[in-house]
Chains A and B, each alone.
Chain A
Amino acid sequence: MFSEFLTQNLQEFWQLTGFYNATWEHLVMLLVGLFFIWLAIKKNFEPMLLVPIGFGILIGNVPFNTTAGLEIGIYEEGSVLNILYNGVSAGWYPPLIFLGIGAMTDFSALIANPKLMLIGAAAQFGIFGAYMVALLLGFAPDQAGAIAIIGGADGPTAIFLSSKLAPNLMGAIAVSAYSYMALVPVIQPPLMRLLTTRHERVIKMKPARAVSQNEKIIFPIVGMILTCFVVPSGLPLLGMLFFGNLLRECGVTNRLAKTASNALTDIVTILLGMTVGASTQASEFLTSETIRIFLLGFMAFVIASASGVLFVKLFNLFLPKSKKINPLIGNAGVSAVPMSARISNNLGLEYDPSNYLLMHAMGPNVAGVIGSAVAAGVLLGFLA
């Protein structure tokens, strides 16, 4: 009798274990998670993001009996992971990240040379180019909009928009967006070489003028009002971005700016990365749609980078010789801050060791952040 009781309980316990419930899909996803962690630790690809996402994938793909009512899965109402996931599903982690980005970002390069904002706008064509292709591939307009935002190369924006337009695709979109952001140094340089001539790559730009404190304070206030008046649906992202920047620049809230740019951003990044990773449960993630999303994301990223570079070349046709812009900063119009600006700088130095483009590239780079948030607001306004 006792042995029967023991056997029955052990049998029930065995049925709850991961070994019993594992499928090949789980194992594939566990390998994907391990690959992300390997990329982050061994190859140093965006470790701050890929380690939490990679480990999140491991957490989200530990097999268990979903019918046992254990309340442990990320999609089970009331589970701890589900509560943490609320920041993603309800879309309030991304604005907090934007607060931190605003508190970290120096907009001086943009304020000193406002025309660079247009490069940030041009690079957003990647989003809408990918939108058209996504429609061709059979996605519905709202899904196409959520996928296309990957072209903005902005993880928080991609998560924010997909949580509103296509929550079922959010895991794939987020992982795709962060993967391509990590692969900026691999994807962009060949494209930039392809689209520029040797002569263009050595164009030297005049150093930007010094920007006064007053201008830095006015920028986030005017920037928020103007952009949000045009696209009110971008308010959560743009409002927090400019608010963070005002905390930084006003000079009287250093403590708040420090918290927003350090502790708060780190906490939200950990939670965001981990829960996004955990949301990629095999059953939701291993579909043909995911593969199409990754392909579309890659294409969006390529179009965005190319649009920025080509726009600078076009812009140069109308500028006097002394004010020509080096097209190598065009790729920075995607908002992978500051990675894409560093790519511009490194490539510039490769062709002329005295040509430092970093600060010039930071202009379109931060304009890209604003541009992608505006683009997300536009898509949300049209499709939500």
Chain B
Amino acid sequence: MNKRLLTLLLVTLTFAGTICAQGRRGLRLNEVMIVNDSTSVVDDFGRYNAWVELFNSTFGPLEISSVFLTNDRNNNTLYPVPLGDVNTEIPARQHILFWADGEPNKGTFHTNFTFTPGEDNYIAIYDANGQTLIDEIVVPGDLKPGQSYARKADGEGGINNPDDWEVRDGSESKYITPSSNNIIKSTNNKVDAFAEHDPHGFAMAVMAMCIVFSALLVLSICFYIINRIGASISRSRKMKALADDEVEADHHKEQDSGEVIAAIAAALVEHLDAHDRESTILTINKVRRAYSPWSSKIYGLRELPNRH
């Protein structure tokens, strides 16, 4: 019964962990445009509206239906992202755009609120419970028409930390990127860094060999210690067993001397005419052989090539 309870508890804890892990904490506000002055994108109806870009910063798809978008600090549940739209699943490390046009009847991605140009605009995402804040930011009021307020790197940085955000004016270095990455990566920075600073691979060889050696050295030391502890435990057990045997032997010695046992045995034989009857049945028992690496299957998998 206890085992069943324990199993149930473990399963419950596992599921609780899974539910927690499936939360929408990886969702990020990524870029916002308060006044879309026809230099940016149009919605499905051909209109230039304010927009909010959300980014899935996790490495798995994220379903965002039933999370809340709001621009009101006193109303966390202002706009619930509707259920039942397949497009509300954001693929890993991808974006989704919401139009802040105050016309939710136009579709899933049209919010029921708008922004106020010239003032600080608060935007937040709350989880489905309406209580758990996922992300928030205050867009500065001095943002000009056609400018966006964007994270410097997609999904990176904290919650409501202006240091992680910047104003983008659409120039070559501050481009506006609705529904795409804020930083366009054409190459792998790590690879470029190695190509630039370690063209001969010497640093890589030294670092990597040190890491490989350290990993196996730590494992080796760990098992050296375990070996020692194991040996000491088995030695002490052996000593104890030997000591117990000696005590038991002394105890029997006191009670039964060899002469007494021999006399009793002789009396029994005389009295009962007892002797062993040999059975004529031979039984062969199957003996379970413990595993031996010498007979392991793996040595049969790759045989030496036959030389003809």
Contacts and interface: CB of A to CB of B under 8 A. Distances in A.
A290 B287 CA distance: 54
Interface string A128-146: 1101101110001110110
A202 interface: no
B205 interface: yes
B227 A108 contact: no
A112 B213 CA distance: 19
Contacts of A120: 216
B212 A375 contact: yes
Given A114-B227, A135-B200, A106 B296 contact: yes
A339 B304 CA distance: 8
A80 B195 CA distance: 38
Contacts of A375: 208, 212
Given A114-B223, A382-B190, A185 B305 contact: yes
Chain A interface, >50% SS class: helix
A46 B302 contact: yes
A142 B212 contact: no
A346 interface: yes
Contacts of A346: 304
A231 interface: yes
A121 B195 contact: no
Nearest to B299: A338
Contact of B230 (A124, A144, A215, A370): A215
A132 B201 contact: yes
A171 B277 CA distance: 74
Contacts of B294: 358-359
A118 B216 contact: yes
A86 interface: no
B302 A114 contact: no
Contact of A128 (B204, B223, B305, B306): B204
Contacts of A124: 208-209, 212
Most chain B CB atoms below 10 A, which of A121, A342, A359, A371:
A121
A211 to B, nearest CB: 9
Contact of B200 (A136, A227, A382): A136
Given A140-B191, A185-B305, A212-B234, A370 B216 contact: yes
A121 B214 CA distance: 9
B84 interface: no
B211 interface: yes
B291 interface: yes
Interface in A91-149: 104-106, 108-112, 114-115, 117-118, 120-122, 124-125, 127-129, 131-132, 134-136, 140-142, 144-145
A90 interface: no
A383 B194 contact: yes
A104 B297 contact: yes
A379 interface: yes
B266 interface: no
B22 interface: no
Contacts of A134: 201
A205 interface: no
Interface in B184-231: 188, 190-191, 194-195, 198-202, 204-205, 207-209, 211-224, 226-227, 230
A331 to B, nearest CB: 15
Contacts of B263: none
A140 B305 contact: no
A262 B218 CA distance: 32
A231 B209 CA distance: 12
Contacts of A109: 293
Contact of B222 (A43, A226, A337): A226
A75 interface: no
Given A378-B211, A382-B208, A108 B296 contact: no
A346 B296 CA distance: 18
B20 interface: no
B270 interface: no
A328 interface: no
B219 A117 contact: yes
B50 to A, nearest CB: 38
Interface string B285-308: 000000101101111011111100
B220 A48 contact: no
Given A46-B302, A128-B205, A337-B298, A374 B230 contact: no
A223 interface: yes
Nearest to A375: B212
A231 B302 CA distance: 30
Contact of A129 (B205, B218, B234): B205
A371 B217 CA distance: 11
A109 B214 CA distance: 20
A179 B177 CA distance: 48
Contacts of B291: 106
A230 B293 contact: no
Given A131-B204, A382-B208, A48 B219 contact: no
A68 to B, nearest CB: 31
A87 to B, nearest CB: 19
| Smallest CB-CB A-B distances: 7 pairs | A128-B205, A132-B201, A114-B223, A114-B220, A141-B194, A121-B216, A117-B220
20 contacts: A46-B302, A104-B297, A120-B216, A121-B216, A121-B217, A128-B201, A132-B205, A135-B201, A136-B200, A145-B204, A214-B230, A215-B230, A226-B215, A230-B218, A342-B304, A346-B304, A362-B293, A374-B212, A378-B207, A383-B191
Interface of A: 43-46, 48, 104-106, 108-112, 114-115, 117-118, 120-122, 124-125, 127-129, 131-132, 134-136, 140-142, 144-145, 185, 212, 214-215, 218-219, 222-223, 226-227, 230-231, 261-262, 337-339, 342, 346, 358-359, 362, 367, 370-371, 374-375, 378-379, 382-384
